[in-house]
Amino acid sequence: MSSEPRQREVYFNGRYVPESQASVSIYDSALMFGDMAFEFTRTFKHKPFRLREHLDRLYASMKILRIDPGMSLDEMEKVTLEVLEHNAPLVQPEIDFQILHDISRGVLGPYQRVIGNERDATGPTVAISTYPMDLHLASFAPLFDEGVRAVIPRQRAIPSHLLDAKMKTRSRQHYQIANQQTSDVDPKAWAVLIDMDGFIAEGTGANVFVVIDGVLYTPERRNILRGVSRGAVFDLANELGIDCHERNLDPYDMHTADEAFFTSTPFCMVSITHLDGLPISEGAPGPIVKQLLDAWSKLVGVDIPGQARWCAEHVKGT
């Protein structure tokens, strides 16, 4: 009997395979064109958070990209829960999972012939995978105490009539360029993209909020990914009696705000303490972010910053 630890299992084109065997053709449309939709969902206590919303967004992206995954949203949800069930025993209960849906158009017709397959395109590549978040969470631990600095890079958000950021796709070169331009200025800073009109759009993997006089403001939905975490903040703010509005925000609004923060699935919320080298208010995480994060922790039954600190203490090599 083998004493090798069991590998994580991935749902890959209709069957379960060990993660190391889930590989795509170099002619897959994902590699050729960045032509694919994806989603990142996280768990709390091993239960997916707002999975249905992530899948709704995935199916909206695929509809517009004209990618047919060959399964209904209900089936996708069922398989996702199965993937989690297969892999849950490999991970201790304190650590949560990141779930990934990666769906491409597959190998396109002309490349089928290149690889010696005379048939038409064989269909989409569908991968549903999951991995423990311990390393990610450990790296977030200091951010909950210190916040992050932000920089506006030269790279702009792409207007939605040129490439629609509302679809979550792997055509993300501009986000990478923005990240590189940002780290040239400040290696630890995160990018905040502005759109062609100079209004704040979003981060390269996060949405942005500011707090002014106790009210939350976040950019309009035009040029951004409509984040699931962004929606969660709307709901939490509503429950806490904090007003929350979508409106055009420019860098001036962020420079003069009382607080600012990013939202995204893996870390939920982190404070933005500086913009382009200038402190936002006192240049430290503020009370509204803490209030919202406490409410989020209560909602999911996990102390979100506490879990990150636990991972930082217990994960080797951090």
Residues that bind ligand PLP (CB under 6 A): 40, 202, 204-207, 225, 227-230, 263-265
End-to-end alpha carbon distance in the chain: 34
The token duo for 300 is 């999911």
Minimum distance, C-beta of residue 2 to ligand PLP, in the bound complex (Å)? 37
Report whether 250 contacts 200 (CB < 8 A).
yes
Nearer to ligand PLP, 38 or 111 (CB): 38
Minimum distance, C-beta of residue 263 to ligand PLP, in the bound complex (Å)? 6
Minimum distance, C-beta of residue 174 to ligand PLP, in the bound complex (Å)? 10
Nearer to ligand PLP, 49 or 112 (CB): 49
Work out the burial of residue 75: count CB atoms within 10 Å of its CB; fewer than 13 is exposed, 13-18 middle, 19 or more buried. Answer: exposed
Minimum distance, C-beta of residue 6 to ligand PLP, in the bound complex (Å)? 29
Q: In what order do the strands lie in the sheet with 47-48?
A: 15-18, 9-12, 125-132, 97-104, 36-44, 47-48
Nearer to ligand PLP, 107 or 304 (CB): 304
Minimum distance, C-beta of residue 158 to ligand PLP, in the bound complex (Å)? 11
> Rounded distance, CA 274 to CA 257, Å?
11
Minimum distance, C-beta of residue 64 to ligand PLP, in the bound complex (Å)? 16
User: What is the number of the residue whose Cβ is closest to ligand PLP?
Assistant: 227
- 135 - beta bridge partners? none
Nearer to ligand PLP, 107 or 302 (CB): 302
Nearer to ligand PLP, 202 or 259 (CB): 202
Nearer to ligand PLP, 107 or 224 (CB): 224
Of all residues in the chain, what percent are helix, strand and coil, respectively (each to 5)? 35, 25, 40
Report whether 65 contacts 74 (CB < 8 A).
no
